[in-house]
Amino acid sequence: MSTVTGTPDRTSGTPAPSGAPAGADTARLLRWWPAAVLVVLIVAPYSALPLPGLLDGPVGSAGSLQLLATCLLFGALATGYDLLLGRTGLLSFGHALYFAAGSYATNTIMLEAGLPFAVSALVGVCFGIALALVLGSVSLRVTGIGFSMVTLAFAQAGSILVSRNPGGFTGGEEGRAAPAELLPSGLVGIEHTANLYWVALGYLVLTLAVVHWAVRSPAGRVWEGIKENERRVEVLGLRPYGFKLTAFVLAGALAALGGLVHLLLTGGSTPQTTTSDFTLSLLVMVVLGGSGTRWGPMVGGILYTWADHRLGDLAGSGAVADLPAVLRVPLSQPLFLLGVLFVAVVHLLPGGLARLPSRLGSALRAPRGATRAGAAARKEYRHS
């Protein structure tokens, strides 16, 4: 028997509301996709599934896990950087400095003081946070392009300091290898690559959780207001400086923690992580994925890092070598391929990869809407 409010449920006898959308159950299931992806990532080291073209070997092989761990690391780092760019509207060119601070400080303390890894890591991350607090308090005295230039100046100063190798603490252009005897035994050696992968995955999950909590907090709503109109926030009686400094220090803390993870993955501290080019790579990752979105920076960081590693293999492959010179020369340059990828995404998806699902949904709904409109027009014409 049918009723006014719904139709009978043949399994339980309970009427289902007639106003419920047809895809409500599907939509509820789709909300759980992050948990499903997390489970897949957790069990990835146990998989022997080959992914030709995407990875050199099976998913669970040491080389593949090393690449995946690096992708997860930079996906998390881009997510933390977006706290400044996408959430607060602060374009910093010096974010690499705090990433390098976490790595170099931890490594130097182990090498020079001989302290255990856990103590050195704690001191190293605290040093990165303190550095972000000091330099952020100075940089945020100016706004706009002035802020960007000040952060760039600090980053350049840090990069020069590392390259000059004062007191032999930084290793100069060669960097410094971490003392294997002081690192946790379960994180040293190719046979423990899976453990390093899980460390990188844990860092990603922690970063996503912290950023999500921060954005939904009262401070996060003020960050959104500062990004839209800082003057209006001042009129409301709030001091934007303190809120911007909070975002700066939180992003710096996440970067310093990422530097620690990078130290474990690479087995040392490298000067390349101190350059402004490193920060520009983070900027590209965020724009590629979608600035100011929940998952966009992570996706952009993972895709950019994977492409940076894999396009080098493509550029040196026999397929490219056999092409005519007019194609072989540009395609043999990995940076050219990365640039083409970035330009294509920015041109075709102005909001980044995070906007792709909504754009596809709009494209699929448009023909249906046009069909319904045409049918209504024909019906109206017949009645007129």
Helix axes 240-266, 218-228, angle to 10 degrees: 110
Per-residue DSSP letters for 75-97? HHHHHHHHHHHTTT----S-THH
Taking Cα atoms as reference points, which of 60, 303, 124, 3 lies closest to residue 295?
303
Angle at the Cα of 221 (from 216 to 225), degrees rounded to 5? 155
What pLDDT score was predicted for residue 5?
43
The enclosing H or E element of 367 equals helix 356-383
Look at the pTM and tell me if it is higher than 0.95: no
Res 331 pLDDT > 80: no
pLDDT of residue 368: 58
| pLDDT of res. 372 | 60
**What's the pLDDT tens digit per position in 132-164?**
999 999 999 999 899 999 999 999 999 999 999
Query: How many CB atoms lie under 10 A from the CB of residue 273?
Result: 24
Q: In the prediction, which pLDDT does 253 show?
A: 97
Q: Where are the alpha helices (DSSP H) in 267-324?
A: 276-289, 296-315, 318-321
pLDDT tens, 53-70? 788 889 999 999 999 999
Q: Give the residue-averaged pLDDT of 318-338.
A: 72
Rounded mean pLDDT, 347-352: 80
Query: Quick one: pLDDT at residue 6?
Result: 44
- Between CA 187 and CA 195 the distance in angstroms is 6
Q: Answer with the residue of higher pLDDT: 292 or 28.
A: 292
**Residue 26's pLDDT band (boundaries 50, 70, 90)?**
low
Residue 313 confidence (pLDDT): 72
> Phi and psi of 116, rounded to 5°?
-60, 160
Out of 80-84, 124-128, 278-282, which region has the weakest mean confidence (pLDDT)? 278-282
Q: Are 45 and 194 in contact (CB under 8 A)?
A: yes
Average pLDDT over residues 176-205: 93
* pLDDT number for residue 378: 58
pLDDT band of 345, cuts 50, 70, 90: confident
Q: Look at residue 266 and tell me whether its pLDDT is greater than 70.
A: yes
Q: What's the average model confidence in pLDDT over 186-197?
A: 92
Angle 74-85-131 (CA atoms, 0-180°, nearest 5)?
A: 75
66-119 residue pLDDT tens = 999 999 999 999 999 999 999 999 999 999 999 999 999 999 999 999 999 999
Cβ–Cβ under 8 Å, residues 230 and 240 = yes
pLDDT in tens, 226-252: 999 999 999 988 999 999 999 999 999
Token duo for residue 161: 């300091």
pLDDT, position 128: 96
The model's pLDDT over 297-321, given as tens digits with 9 standing for 90+, comes to: 999 999 999 988 887 777 666 667 7
